[in-house]
Amino acid sequence: MVDTTAPTGTPLIDMRNISIAFGGIRAVDDASIDLFPGEVVALLGHNGAGKSTLIKILSVAYKRDSGQIFVNGEEASISNPRDAKKYGIETIYQTLALADNVDAAANLFLGRELMTDWGTLDDGAMEAEARKVMGRLNPRFQRFKEPVVKLSGGQRQSVAIARAILFNARILIMDEPTAALGPQETAQVGELVMQLKADGIGIFLSLPTGSA
Ligand SMILES: Nc1ncnc2c1ncn2[C@@H]1O[C@H](COP(=O)(O)OP(=O)(O)O)[C@@H](O)[C@H]1O
Ligand SMILES: [Mg+2]
């Protein structure tokens, strides 16, 4: 049978025959998976199935025992988290890793701040950029002047995603993004994912099965 919905062209990511063991535990055993632009691929599995481990082989360069990784059709060598970013791979962890006491713009530009010609922080430019990218992801978001600790879980998630895509990520990895969210916020994350998909970003989404 021919799957007419199958994407064509070169996958953003092609992981082939990936295996990794920790001591005697085969955390990932001969897994192959690919991801095309504008595609959302879910990694489904129960707690301990190896979802986070497979993700971390891409994002933080867990050393695999075997297998190959291709990015845009070329074999990739990812040996640290910076390499992953170089390949346009951004990861959002459950913890989000936001700086709680500063606002959305400051979080988006954390460690890569925009400066004026005089060498001071260009807060105006950063807020303008933040409004642009947040406006695309979450048009209802207006709380630009508040520290992110005051935001809802869904809003915090959108700040973390905005930070990931601000610097041109083509591949977004989300490890159980809705684990700590209520139904309404989970729906909001679903909308964010559909928006990213429409923008041509490829998304790996890990989701637990059989829990709760
Ligand atoms: N850094 C590590 N050291 C040793 N064992 C690990 C490590 N990371 C994961 N594991 C083991 O690998 C298996 C898969 O874990 P994980 O990838 O976290 O699963 P999931 O994300 O699907 O819940 C589990 O048995 C887990 O205990
Ligand atoms: Mg996990």
Q: Which token pair is 85?
A: 């970013």
Contact of 35 with 202, CB cutoff 8 Å:
yes
Q: What is the pLDDT of residue 40?
A: 96
* Closest residue CA from atom 16 of ligand 1: 50
Instruction: Check pLDDT > 90 for residue 46.
Output: yes
Give the rounded percent of residues in the chain with a pLDDT score beyond 90.
Answer: 64
- The DSSP bridge pattern shows strands 202-208 and 171-175 to be parallel
Q: Which token pair is 66?
A: 């075997």
Per-residue model confidence as pLDDT tens digits over 118-151: 999 999 999 999 999 998 888 889 999 999 999 9
Rounded CA separation 159/154 (Å): 9
Instruction: Check pLDDT > 80 for residue 8.
Output: no
Nearest to 105 by CA among 65, 134, 139, 76: 134
Instruction: For residue 132, give every residue at least 6 positions away whose Cβ sits within 8 Å of its Cβ, in sequence order, or none.
Output: none
Q: Where are the domains of the chain?
A: 37-55+87-208
Ligand nearest to the backbone CA of 43: 1
What predicted TM-score, i.e. pTM, was given to this entire model? Answer: 0.86
From the CA of 94, how far away is ligand 2's center (Å)?
A: 9
Instruction: Check pLDDT > 70 for residue 5.
Output: no
| Residue 15 in contact with ligand 1 by CB distance below 6 A | no
| Residue 51 in contact with ligand 1 by CB distance below 6 A | yes
CATH number for the region 37-55+87-208 comes to 3.40.50.300
Rounded CA separation 196/35 (Å): 14
Q: Over range 44-49, report the average pLDDT.
A: 94
Greater model confidence, 102 or 181: 102
| Residue 154 in contact with ligand 1 by CB distance below 6 A | no
* Closest residue CA from atom 14 of ligand 1: 50
Rounded CA separation 31/56 (Å): 14
